[in-house]
Amino acid sequence: MAENVTWHEACMSTCIMVTDNKADRTVEKTKVGRKPTITPEIADRLVEGFARGYPTGIVLALNKIDDVIFCRAMKNLEFRRRIEEARASALQPAIDTVMAARNTQAGAQWLLERRASEEFGSKNRLQVEEKKPAKVILKHYKIKRK
């Protein structure tokens, strides 16, 4: 049984070095499973897309990444931090514009309506109360073409 296991990580490498002390030899094994879909190069392109302000769907489509794969990759804290920083940096110019416009009456009104909507928002709100579950009926119609 191997007593000493070290991981060789060079850009998500697939090698595991196992040292067997009884036989004094080193055996190289390959990790089981598929290679990571989001490589460091793709991660850089994703970050660049989010930094430009593109929506998530567009960024993923341009890089041919499935949203399930993206959600799985977001569990990696370093990757998540990079994506969130890129999204925040894309919003910064818009936030600066809004904050500069707060000195005008229309800008101040807009900001108050959104920041303190209970006090300054529209009083015409739609309240929806559901007493029984809604019944949804789906029908499939065939269209005859000539």
User: What value, to the nearest 5°, has the Cα angle with vertex 21 and ends 16 and 23?
Assistant: 100
- Higher-pLDDT residue of 3 and 65 is 65
User: Which tens digit of pLDDT belongs to each residue from 37-48?
Assistant: 789 999 999 999
pTM as predicted: 0.55
Average pLDDT over the chain, rounded to whole? 77
d(Cα 135, Cα 146) in Å, to the nearest integer?
Answer: 35
pLDDT in the model for residue 98: 86
Say which residue, 94 or 127, is predicted with more confidence.
94
List pLDDT tens digits, range 75-102. Answer: 999 999 999 999 999 999 988 988 898 8
Residue-wise pLDDT tens digits, 10-32: 333 333 344 445 544 554 555 66
Tokens of 111: 């900001």
- How many residues are listed for the chain in this entry? 146
pLDDT, greater one: 105 or 16:
105
Residues 6+ apart with CB under 8 A from 50: 56, 59, 83, 86, 87, 90
Most confident of 46-50, 66-70, 116-120, 140-144: 46-50
DSSP H or E run through 62: helix 56-62
